Each structure stands twice: as structure tokens, then as C-alpha cells.
Amino acid sequence: MHDHADHAHRLAERRANALVFALVANAALLVAEIVGGIVFGSLALLADGVHMVSDVVALGIALVAQRFVAKPATERHTYGFVRAEVLAAQLNGVLLLAAAVVIVVEAIHRLANPEHLDPGPVLVVAALGLVVNVVSAVALGRLAGASLNLRAAMVHLGADALGSVAVIVAAVGALVANLDRLDPIASLVIAALVVLGA
């Protein structure tokens, strides 16, 4: 029985460490996407950045929930704090839906009034975003197992990886054919991914 408790504690610590890694990497990417979206005029990059805000918050919530899950049962909480995972996953879904609404409103505005963007740097930031999201998702995926909390965090990261692909497509279209409207279209794709993630 003691070996099982030690194994569960070690697994909880490894999961928490993977969440810390994903949180730090995604927080750095969030800053790059928001700044890049503003400086280079890309709504798709900003939309992915907004989605990243929800991911960074979601990863923070997942980390806190993981810390609670690792706590032992008490007299008042005889089953421990396992339910924290379910509550964290539910809160993540609500945050994603709110982010989707913001993205759609701005994308519709930009479809009616397209703005020029600087596609080269947008492409670089989006490619970096793809790498960060894939690496973070793999790090969590190796430890997720039956953890609803880590699987929800992986869904966030997977949707962000697809969002980065949408930004890459929009940047390439703007770079090659001056198709600036691809940027708000990519933003709508990201909003759909956000809703699916929720």
C-alpha cells in the first residue's frame, strides 16, 4: 500500500513539473504572439494570443488542481481533492468559450475592413508557436494517463497548435498573394477551434 502511495505521489509531481514546463513555455509564447499581432497587424496572431491567454490561465488552473490532487485525504475530505480536476476542466471550457466570442467579433469587423499585415514576422512567430504547442502537448501527453485535468490541458495545446497552422496559412497567403483577408478568416478558424476545445 505504501509503494502505491509513493508511486502516486511521484506521478503527481511529474505531472506538476510537466505543467510548469508547459505554463512557462506558453506564457513566453503568449507575450510573443500578442506583441507580434500588434506590431505586425495580424488579427490571427492576436486571436491565437487571446487563445493563449486562456491556455496560460487554464494551465495555471490545471497546475493548482494537480497540486490539490496530490494532497492526501483529510477527515473533512475523505476522498482527497480528486474533484479539483473536474472543476478545473469545467472552468477551462468556460474560458475558451469567452475567448471565442471576442475573436469572432473582431474577425467579422476585420473582414469588413481588412487591414494590412507584415506576413514575414507573423510567419516566424506562428511557426515558433506551433513548435511550443507541440512540444508542450507531447510533454503532458506522456504523463496524462487517465487524468482529466492533463487531458483538458492537452486539448488546449492541441487547439493552439492547429491555431498556429491557421496563422501560418494566413501569413503565407498574405506573403505570396497579398491575401490580407486570410488573416481574419484564420481568426474565425481559431475561434472554431476554441469552441471545439471548450
pLDDT, tens only, 24-63: 998 999 999 999 999 998 989 988 887 777 778 777 877 7
Q: Would you place residue 137 in the very low, low, confident or very high pLDDT band (cuts 50, 70, 90)?
A: confident
- pLDDT in the model for residue 35: 93
Helix locations, the chain, DSSP H: 2-40, 43-70, 83-112, 119-144, 148-177, 182-197
- Confidence (pTM): 0.76
Q: Would you say residue 186 has pLDDT above 90?
A: yes
Instruction: Calculate helix-pair angle for 148-177, 43-70, nearest 10 degrees.
Output: 170
- Residue given cell 505543467 in the structure block: 19
Tell me the C-alpha to C-alpha distance, in Å, between residue 21 and each of 25, 70, 175. 6, 18, 33
d(CA 197, CA 94): 10
What residue segments make up the domains of the chain, in order of their start?
2-197
According to CATH, the topology of domain 2-197 is: Alpha-lytic protease prodomain-like (1.20.1510)
